[in-house]
Amino acid sequence: MARPNWVPAGTDLDKPNAARVYDYYLGGSHNFEVDRQMARRAIELWPDLPMIMRANRAFLRRATQYVAAEGISRFLDIGSGIPTFGAVHEVAREYRPDARVVYVDMDPVAVAHSRLILADEDLCWIVDADLRNTDDLLARPEVEDLLAPGEPVAVILNAVMHFVTEDDGPEKILAKLREALPSGSALILSHASLEGRPDQAGAHQDLYRSTPTPLTMRTREQITAMFDGFDLVEPGVVYLPEWRPDDDATVGPHPERMTGMAGVGRLS
């Protein structure tokens, strides 16, 4: 297989990668046939998966637009995957041309791809760090520089906290992030939930238990608690399509089919 110019040297083109599979769900082009095969197998088990992934990405777009329109120009996107197909810096710059974004991921494949994609971006950086080692993440020079001026920062935890188990201490992680943020900052968060489709979501959670990244789905109450210390922006924590839709018609009659929940909070 010929190696496209966005693929780092040494990349194993014969093994699927979660970040590239996600790109495929979104309709992107940064994926290989091996990734598409894995995605198609997953879709056979849960036909709604592509819709859920796109609803999650659409929430991220709307939330980024919202905070950028509110004046935030600094973004810390943790668990970013490959920043393609409506990446945060592209969306934010529709409102804030000076938007600065630090992308963070622990997947070496996603990080390597990101470095090539962002090579010509002056105001974007990629950091190889693990959210669960929050002190290390916050000590990285790129992150320190983003936080240092005291300007509001939007921390993005888009579909990442469900990979943090209870043993990892999600409350401590979120508290450390909150304490590092200047006043006026924001938290953008989406999370897989057992509510809405417990039959499908439960089977999906079981599937992930056999992988290096087990999935911990949580209730609306547990997800809402992750905004402790933040003032929730209306309409609060809701199903993905329900958060400030572009058009009420896009919500549809069964938003619970998207299974994920999302919200945005502001720090006083």
Q: In the predicted model, is pLDDT for residue 198 greater than 90? A: no
Amino acid 194: pLDDT = 76
Please count the structural domains in the chain.
1
Judge whether residue 70 has pLDDT over 80: yes
Is the pLDDT assigned to residue 243 strictly greater than 70?
A: yes
Within a domain: 227: yes
**Residue 65 covered by a domain:** yes
CATH code of the domain in which 223 resides: 3.40.50.150
Residue 43 has a pLDDT of 80
Q: Is residue 68 part of a domain?
A: yes
Q: Where are the beta strands (DSSP E) in 64-185?
A: 74-78, 100-105, 124-128, 153-158
Mean pLDDT, residues 120-136: 96
Mean pLDDT over residues 119-136, rounded?
96
Q: Answer whether residue 140 is part of any domain.
A: yes
pLDDT > 60? residue 209: no
Residue 22 inside a domain? The answer is: no
Q: Please write the tens of the pLDDT for every residue from 159-194.
A: 999 989 999 999 999 999 999 999 999 999 999 887
Contact 21, 82 (CB under 8 A): no
- pLDDT at position 210, please? 47
Percent of the chain with pLDDT over 90: 57
Flag whether pLDDT at 21 surpasses 70: yes
16 domain residue, yes or no: no
Mean residue pLDDT of the chain comes to 87
Residue 17 has a pLDDT of 73
Which domain, by its residues, includes 88? 47-266
Predicted confidence (pLDDT) at residue 206 exceeds the cutoff of 60: no
Q: What is the pLDDT of residue 265?
A: 98
Residue 242 lies in a domain: yes
pLDDT average, residue stretch 250-261: 79
35: tokens are 């990734």
- At 110, which helix (H) or strand (E)? helix 108-117
pLDDT of 205 above 60: no
Predicted local confidence at residue 15, as pLDDT = 78
User: Using H for helix, E for strand and C for coil, what is the string for the chain?
Assistant: CCCCCCCCCCCCCCCCCHHHHHHHHCCCCCCCHHHHHHHHHHHHHCCCHHHHHHHHHHHHHHHHHHHHHCCCCEEEEECCCCCCCCCHHHHHCCCCCCCEEEEEECCHHHHHHHHHHCCCCCCEEEEECCCCCHHHHHHCHHHHHHHCCCCCEEEEEECCHHHCCHHHCHHHHHHHHHHHCCCCCEEEEEECECCCCHHHHHHHHHHHCCCCCCCCCECHHHHHHCCCCCEECCCCCEEHHHCCCCCHHHCCCCHHHHCCEEEEEECC
Determine, yes or no, domain membership for 220: yes
Q: The pTM is what?
A: 0.87
Question: Looking up tokens 């043993």, which residue turns up?
Answer: 167
